[in-house]
A and B are shown apart, each in its own frame.
Chain A
């Protein structure tokens, strides 16, 4: 069956360090992989999208890699700040006739001052 797994439910990182979150998937052939940030009680906010033929994407302090052979994406936040504390969700989008976005269960990231 199709599955999206994010490395851990919770991750604590010291301020200033790089936070690395992992998203693994099985039985998918995603056209796109996306990362979202969600704060408690709020809707997810889109951060980055990476296509199946792209290896890496950057946006300010964020970096996403996508390895379709390993079926894995890594999400990095460099020079982390307490304001980066949130739940981060990866999501896969296939283009088999629809644009349904399927989400992982998320990793709750806490940046410790």
Chain B
């Protein structure tokens, strides 16, 4: 157990639907990062939150959004889902400059 908790572990949904992925960072970590990993793209940075505020944005689609709540957990919302959104979605947290701790991921399958 890395200390970063992601739910659900698996999600199967239809095209056009909306889903919410949840992440609880390691205790004490203020930063949360979301990454997408597909077979052909590797790990792609989506977005970072620090203590409730958006800090950095990567190649995140407009159909995707995220937020970090006062208790520091974060949610990634994916809407108007397409087949190409099928991937592993990872959340990571860190306390500052140093190694990131990743969760075990949510495997999203869009059918």
- A: residues with CB less than 8 A from B are 31-32, 34, 41-47, 49, 89, 93, 95, 97-106
Contacts and interface: CB of A to CB of B under 8 A. Distances in A.
Given A98-B56, A100-B58, A43 B104 contact: yes
Interface in B9-34: 31, 33
Given A49-B99, A101-B33, A43 B42 contact: no
Given A49-B99, A99-B56, A101-B100, A44 B43 contact: yes
B103 A43 contact: yes
A45 B101 CA distance: 7
A49 B98 contact: yes
Interface residues of B, number: 26
Given A46-B100, A100-B58, A106-B42, 9 more contacts: A31-B97, A44-B102, A46-B101, A47-B99, A99-B97, A100-B48, A101-B92, A101-B100, A103-B35
A46 B102 CA distance: 8
